[in-house]
Every structure is written in structure tokens, then in C-alpha cells.
Amino acid sequence: MRTGIIHDDLFLQHETGPFHPERKERLISIHEGLRSYAHSNQLHRLKPRLAAESELRLIHPPPYIRNIQATAGKESTQLDPDTVASARSCEVAQYAVGSLLVLIDALLAGEIDNGFALVRPPGHHAEPNRVMGFCLFSNIAIGSAYALQKHKLSRVLVIDFDVHHGNGTQKAFYHRGDVLYISTHQFPLYPGTGDYPEIGEGAGKGFTVNFPLPSRTGDAIYNLVFEKVVAPIAQAYRPDLILVSAGYDAHVDDPLAGMEVTAEGFASISQTIVGLADKLCGGKVIFLLEGGYHLKGLQMSVLKSLDVLTGQKQPSRRWKPDASFEAVLEKSRRTFGSYWKF
């Protein structure tokens, strides 16, 4: 497998301060893990590029972009209670978006088989008109719109397994059917969105699929949701491309949430997603880093996903359904069972 990867020290130039959860040490930890990664010979390193303003405008209107650009050169700008920009943050955020676009272009040109953009700042909380939750530009939403427009795709599937609901991605496509947004997340938790009734509106009705999961949910229920519900929905949708908001803050040791997913659990989730890509769209899948704030847990989980992307065989697991999973299944069927069969 040729797994395209983008990781670069320029993403360390987004300075949030030593006590902010979304700090540069997150990427430093991943970079350290990559130095001794056993399958590095299968990683095809690509260079990031700056996203053009016209590309940012696929999701964000000009006044929003100007607001972010106004932070350039300033030591620190507090954009919302959780989100800070430093002198180079706008530039770095544009490179984060551009990195995903580089991987999309390379994937659809047949130069790589799949990819992983190890970038920051994250993006899935940034709404078209609102900075939120450590995020400046809506990276994966822009990437989805870009793939649809430039490469003339018909359907993009976005899977978001970050522990926090991707309100920005959801809002960008809430009235559209050419992007199917599927999210698993702890609920209730920041940002407070992503409950079952949020299924889209108008032409987008049924194309937002949320799985709000209770705290302490672990490997078994997460993987059963992906195998028993996400997989058949994806198969019915038949996307041309799968983009993954890969947040690892559902990890059992993460300080910002209360889930109990292990690195091996993330490997199994990744295996299901990559298997779906192989079956539905010629393997066309790209992971994009979102959250994950326990440094060792983040490093181990990212490397496990890379194992899957590079074609390393994972141990077969049989997850046993329990009452908690049956409750999720029943609520899912009541909410969007008329749109998708599973």
C-alpha cells in the first residue's frame, strides 16, 4: 500500500500556550512515534500547501476569513473562550486545509492508495460563520466541498469518531445530500450538539447520522456501532470518497472526555472504515487528525490507524452485543431507520 502522509514542523507554529490542551506537543509526540515506525517504508510523504482563499470560501464567507486573517502577526488573539490564534496561526490553518487537498488530489490521481493528514489546528468545530473549539477553518468540510467541485464527485462520506461532535461539519452540509455525515461522540459533552433528532433538513434530511453515546463507552460498543450500523448505511450510500475526522480523544486516558476506547479499539474502527473504502470506492479514504489530548494515547492510536492504512493485518475480534448496544441500536432505528436499513 502507498499511504500518503503529511506531517511537518510548520504545524508547530500554531502557538496556543503551554497549558492549552490543543498544543504543539500533540504533534511532537506523533512525530516521535513515526521515527521508529515499523512500516515507514510504506509511507509516501507529501508536502503541505497553502489553501487558497477561494478554497476556504467553499465553506466560509469572506467576513469570517477576514476575521481569522486579522490575527496574523499578533502574538495572541482570543477568538472564543477555547480558541486562540498566534502570529502564524492563520497561515498554519490554511496549510492544514491545503494538506487535505494535496492528499485528495494525489489519491484521485492514483498516486497514493490512501492517506493521513497529521495537521493542526483541528477543524470539525469551526462553523461556516463561527470559530469554535480550538478550530479555525473547517478542514474536512472544505475538503469535501473541494472533492465534489474540483473532482466532480457525486457523494462524499464523512466519518467522525472524535469524542466531541463535529458541529461545524454537520452545519456545513445539514441541507445537502451530496455529503453524508456520520458521527460517534460522547453525549452530553461539548459542544452540546449531535443528539439523535439532528438528521438534516430539506435535501439533507437523513444525511446527518449521529450516535450520541454515554460516557464510559468502550471498544465493544464503538465497534459494534461501526460494524452493525455505520457499515450498512455506508454501503447503501455508496460514496465516491471517504474522509475521516480522526479524533482520538475517546481514548481511555484522555483528559477531556470520559470514554474507554483503547488503541486496539481504534485499530478495529479504522479497519472497518478502510474495509468499507475497499468495498465501496476503490480504497479511497483519507484520515485527518482532529482531537486527542493524552500524548501517549494519541501517539499509539495514530500508529494503529496507520497500521491499518498500510495494510497490516489486524487481529480478528468478535464483539458481543449487550443491553447498552441494543439501546443504541433501538434509538438509531427509531430516529433514522426510515432512511437507512440496518
Query: 35 vs 29, 43, 296, CA distance in Å?
Result: 10, 12, 15
Q: Regarding predicted confidence, which is higher, 18 or 14?
A: 14
- Supply the mean pLDDT for the chain: 98
- What local confidence, expressed as pLDDT, does residue 126 receive? 98
In the prediction, which pLDDT does 314 show? 87
Q: Say which residue the cell 498516486 belongs to.
A: 111
User: Residue 124 — very low, low, confident or very high, per pLDDT cuts 50/70/90?
Assistant: very high
Which active-site residues does the annotation give? 125
Domains of the chain: 3-336 (3.40.800.20)
Place of cell 494519541: 298
- Mean pLDDT for 283-305 is 98
Which of the four pLDDT bands, split at 50, 70 and 90, describes residue 256?
Answer: very high
Query: According to the model, what pLDDT value does residue 45 have?
Result: 98
Nearest to 157 by CA among 194, 187, 138, 183: 183
Share of the chain above pLDDT 70, in %: 100
Tens-place pLDDT, residues 135-147: 999 999 999 999 9
* pLDDT at residue 63, rounded to an integer: 98
Q: Per-residue pLDDT tens for 21-52?
A: 999 999 999 999 999 999 999 999 999 999 99
Give the gyration radius of the chain's Cα atoms: 18
- 212: preceding bond cis by omega (within 30 degrees): no
Q: Alpha carbon of 150 to those of 55, 147, 172, 313, 317: distances in Å?
A: 10, 6, 18, 34, 39
Q: What is the pLDDT of residues 76-110, one digit of tens each?
A: 999 999 999 999 999 999 999 999 999 999 999 99
DSSP state of 127: B
Q: What is the pLDDT of residue 313?
A: 87
C-alpha 270/C-alpha 274 separation (Å) is 6
Strand intervals (E) in the chain: 3-6, 43-45, 77-80, 83-85, 114-117, 156-160, 179-186, 208-213, 241-246, 285-289
165-177 residue pLDDT tens: 999 999 999 999 9
Residue pair 6/46 in contact (Cβ under 8 Å)? The answer is yes
Per-residue pLDDT, averaged over 283-303, amounts to 98
Report the alpha-carbon distance of residue 21 to residue 176 in Å, rounded.
33
What's residue 1's pLDDT?
86
CB within 8 Å of 193: residues ≥ 6 apart: 165, 167, 170
- Nearest Cα residue to 219 out of 175, 187, 246, 184: 184
Residue 171, beta-bridge partner list = none
The pTM for the full model equals 0.98
Residue from 270, 237, 280, 248 nearest 3 by CA: 270
Whether residue 15 has pLDDT greater than 90: yes
